[in-house]
Amino acid sequence: MLDADAFRRWMAAAAAAVEREAGSLTELDAAIGDADHGANLRRGFAAVAAELAKDDAPDSPGAVLTLAGRQLISTVGGASGPLYGTLLRRTGKALGDAPEVDAAALAEALGAGVAAVGQLGGAKAGDKTMLDALEPAVAALAEAAGSAGPYAAAAAAAARGAESTVPMRARKGRASYLGERSEGHQDPGATSSALLFAALEKAAGE
């Protein structure tokens, strides 16, 4: 079971990963976008970490994610801010005020969050976006929920999903303006989604 502390650790680990990988995320975005993905997420997750470090930080998993999502929406200008913000807010809302959640409950809530991302951005699997990492990660989490290491399974699926975007042609977001020239590059948002699930694995202590 993961409590609010574990969720705060998740967001702190995500902030640290984004800080560490900001350069490579921006490099990926330089190839098929506008070279700001690392800076966008670094700004957003730094705001999330600062908010969650306060004394009156929220005390349920759902409230932690709702607050984090709100911060991302209000601090990130790029497409990824509203999209990740929606993911976390919708997931947090689905978790409600339960003091602890297990992998099955988190997978179900994340499923609602990922569906909301699809609705907001109009993208589907195979369009070379963050969804190509998020969808398989959530599916793996749901499938492994009853067995050992569900968070490791989700992180591995997210990483494979990010790699799977390399040959894809982008159909949504800035990269889609490049048409076939977007092929052969890993999608920046799918790459940061893999970081998010690696951070969850770390926070869950697997």
Please identify which residue in 29, 127, 132, 187 interacts with Mg ion, judged by CB under 5 A. Answer: 29
**From ligand ADP, Mg ion, none, interface partner of 129 (C-beta below 5 to 8 A by class):** ligand ADP
Nearest approach in angstroms of CB 90 to ligand ADP is 14
8 A C-beta contact, residue 89 and residue 114: no
Residue in the block written with tokens 């699930």:
197
Q: Which two tokens stand for residue 35?
A: 């070279």
Tokens of 162: 């990010």
Residue nearest to ligand ADP (CB): 189
Residue 116 binds which one of ligand ADP, Mg ion, none, with CB within 5 to 8 A depending on kind?
A: none
What are the helix (H) ranges across 33-149? 37-52, 61-75, 80-95, 103-121, 131-144
- How far is residue 87's CA from residue 91's CA, in Å, rounded to a whole number? 6
Q: Which residue among 12, 14, 33, 66 contacts Mg ion (CB under 5 A)?
A: 33
Q: How far is the CB of 36 from ligand ADP (least distance, A)?
A: 5
**Closest approach of ligand ADP to the CB of residue 37, in Å:** 4
Element (H, E) at 13: helix 4-32
36 counts as binding Mg ion under rule CB under 5 A: yes
**What whole-number distance in Å separates Cα of residue 107 and Cα of residue 184?**
31
Q: Which residues bind ligand ADP (CB under 6 A)?
A: 29, 33-34, 36-37, 40, 78-80, 83, 117, 121-123, 129-131, 172-174, 187-190
